[in-house]
A and B are shown apart, each in its own frame.
Chain A
Amino acid sequence: MSEACDRAALAAPLFDYTLRLADTALILGHRLSEWIGHAPVLEEELALGNIALDLIGEARALYSYAGAVEGKGRDEDALAYRRDAGGFRNLLLAEQPNGDFAATIVRQFLFSAFAQPFWRRLAASRDATLAAIAAKSEKEAAYHLRHAGEWLIRLGDGTEESHRRAQAALDELWPYSGELFERDAVEDRLIAAGIAVDPETLRAEWQRTVSAVLAEATLVAPERAWMQSGGRHGRHSEHLGHLLATMQFLQRAYPGATW
């Protein structure tokens, strides 16, 4: 097959793949931004803000690329603001509510422990744009992982109350960690083309990182958990609808306006 044919054939899975990454980054970034004005410590207002900004930045780069790959003229805002929940492809983990600070930290930790090795691998992608985005995102994810990990240790091994909250958060969010490692036809096509990362190859490292931090945090991962799934295919929790209703309101109320 000619190179042009290859590119055309890969456009659809590449769009889906990139959109999943973009949606996850945006939804998680949006969740973190909800903490502004409510954080437990002033220094943490800034820290969570930084993580949110990193993720929103990643989302913007990914949306722009996805729109270009799709080739229908949709820019970052068209993709972010004018799809309904069924069209979103983010991980379920990202859309879970902030809960208390422990839940936010656990969510971030489970995600970033995956994101860092993921971006590191993706930096070797044959797709130059994804590789460049990945190289930048890896550094960001490394910091998010350190931040969340250090906090998780302090919450787990802090006071009785913080330990209880951290354990409860872990129990609640663990069932969303399975989706991190899902692989479907989209990944299959792109892995064969040297573009995407096989998430299964990241499981061992993720497990090691998670186990080490949980041990130091004196927390216990649930033994068996039925893993939730569906985000990557547009089947979301009830939370996403409300999140999007807030996020997209102005664009929906004033269609066609420039902001």
Chain B
Amino acid sequence: MYTQGLLHGKDEDRGGPEPAEKLARFQERIDAEEKIEPNDWMPGAYRRTLIRMISQHAHSEIVGMLPEGNWITRAPSLRRKAALLAKVQDEGGHGLYLYAAAETLGVTREELVEQLLAGKAKYSSIFNYPSLSWADIGAIGWLVDGAAIMNQIPLCRCSYGPYARAMIRICKEESFHQRQGFEIMLTLCRGTPEQKAMAQDALDRWWWPSLMMFGPSDAQSQHSDASLRWKIKRFSNDELRQKFVDATVPQGHFLGLTFPDPELSFDDAAGHWRFGAIDWDEFRNVLAGNGPCNRQRMTQRQAAHERGAWVRAAAIAYGEKRRLREAAE
């Protein structure tokens, strides 16, 4: 975005080895907790990593609108209807802020959306699971947003300015999302036996996928090193996952629910909840496109995009006509 604004133009990174001196100075800035801004020199790998991370995050918000959007028309009270609509709308907004942040790195929203719809971009695997009952809306807010918040707060201190600022805005808005979800779970758990069973069933289905949201264990993750060195990521996957489990298990017990993990137990000495083995096969398969809803999510996004093409074309055509008319005056 801002690169077009430079008066004297800018040398494009043409690939090839970057001067060690520039790389060292860049690392110094990172180590000094300086913010990197759109026009600053940055290693090609830093730029690429950020584009990947920010766009994946943006795609996740957009696809994330779908499992919850699925229940807006069936929300069981007007208050819940309004709250859910506002939450899903927020998610759309978050996607928008993130695409905007990615665009400062020299990529367009259209390119990113095209990658998503062509199946070339990743998004958070959690959204490939179906929302089967109203309790899922509670579980998604409580668990999925809870996990997302753990990831997102550290990102507010990310070294790249536009991403950090987008994350601050997102975190401010996000704070009601988890509370809304938990409140729904609480209402259900205090309700009729059928409602309580609905809540338990939702936890049974969403717990493990929520743990998988934090990504592969540190030993298996490809991207961690550079991301941590460049202060794009501030904590490791396993650290965040443990933090999430420790915060969430007591909440579930407060609700009177049980977790679908026979190995879940509190380690007094370490002060942590120990949990069972994650099924990384399932994770890999869902990432590879074999989750219950992958195709359905993409189909819906593709359909919306295609059906909207004539609308976008009309807006642009009108814009052109107007410019010509005004120029002629």
Known A-B contacts A45-B92, A257-B191; A162 and B311 likewise in contact (beta carbons under 8 Å): yes
Residue A59 is within 8 A (CB to CB) of chain B in the complex:
yes
Bound CA span A40–B304, Å: 6
Q: How far is the CB of B65 from chain A (nearest CB, A)?
A: 5
CA distance A89 to B126 in the complex (A): 41
A30 at the interface (CB under 8 A from B): yes
Cβ-based interface call for A226 (8 A): no
The 8 Å CB contact of B73, one of A39, A60, A63, A247, is: A247
CB of B78 to closest CB in A, whole Å: 5
Q: Are B89 and A36 in contact (CB under 8 A)?
A: yes
B192 at the interface (CB under 8 A from A): yes
Does A57 reach chain B (CB closer than 8 Å)?
yes
Q: Is B220 positioned at the interface, with any CB of A under 8 Å from its CB?
A: no
List B contacts of A50 (CB < 8 A): 89
Q: Tell me the dominant secondary structure on chain B's binding face.
A: helix
Chain A residue nearest to B184 in the complex (CB): A259
CA distance A101 to B313 in the complex (A): 13
- Chain B residues closer than 8 Å to A42, beta-carbon distance: 62, 92, 95-96, 99
For residue A209, CB closer than 8 A to chain B, the reply is no
CB <8 Å contact, A36 and B93: no
Of B81, B86, B310, which one neighbours A159 at CB under 8 angstroms? B310
Whether the pair A40, B76 counts as a contact (CB closer than 8 A) is no
Interface size on B, residues (CB 8 A): 44
Question: In the complex, are the beta carbons of B314 and A36 less than 8 A apart?
Answer: no
A53 at the interface (CB under 8 A from B): yes
Q: Please give, as numbers and ranges, the residues of chain A lying within 8 Å of B318 by CB-CB distance.
A: 153-154, 157-158
A246's closest neighbor in chain B, by CB? B73
Give the CA-CA distance A251 to B78 in the complex, in Å. Answer: 11
Chain A interface residue bracket vs B? 35 or more
- A101/B69 contact (C-beta < 8 A), A77-B77, A153-B318, A161-B313 known: no
Say if the beta carbon of A41 comes within 8 Å of chain B: yes
Closest residue of chain A to B63 (Cβ to Cβ) is A37
Residues of A within 8 A of B86 (CB): 49, 53
Main SS of the interface on chain A?
helix
* Contact B187–A63 (Cβ < 8 Å): no
List which A218-232 residues lie within 8 A (CB) of chain B: none
| A38 within 8 Å of B (CB atoms) | yes
User: Judging by beta carbons under 8 Å apart, are A259 and B95 in contact?
Assistant: no
C-alpha spacing A57/B258, complex, angstroms:
37
Residues of B near A158 (CB, < 8 A) are: 313-315, 317-318
A-B contact pairs, 26 of them (CB 8 A): A30-B73, A34-B72, A36-B89, A36-B92, A38-B303, A40-B304, A40-B311, A45-B92, A53-B82, A53-B85, A56-B78, A60-B78, A60-B79, A80-B78, A81-B76, A101-B307, A101-B311, A153-B318, A154-B318, A159-B314, A162-B317, A246-B74, A247-B73, A251-B77, A254-B195, A257-B194
B: which residues have CB within 8 A of A? Answer: 62, 65-66, 69, 72-74, 76-82, 85-86, 88-89, 92-93, 95-96, 99, 134, 187, 191-192, 194-195, 300, 303-304, 307-315, 317-318, 321
Which residues on A are within 8 Å of B, measured CB to CB? 26, 30, 33-34, 36-46, 49-50, 52-53, 56-57, 59-60, 63, 76-77, 80-81, 100-101, 153-155, 157-159, 161-162, 165, 246-247, 249-251, 254, 256-259
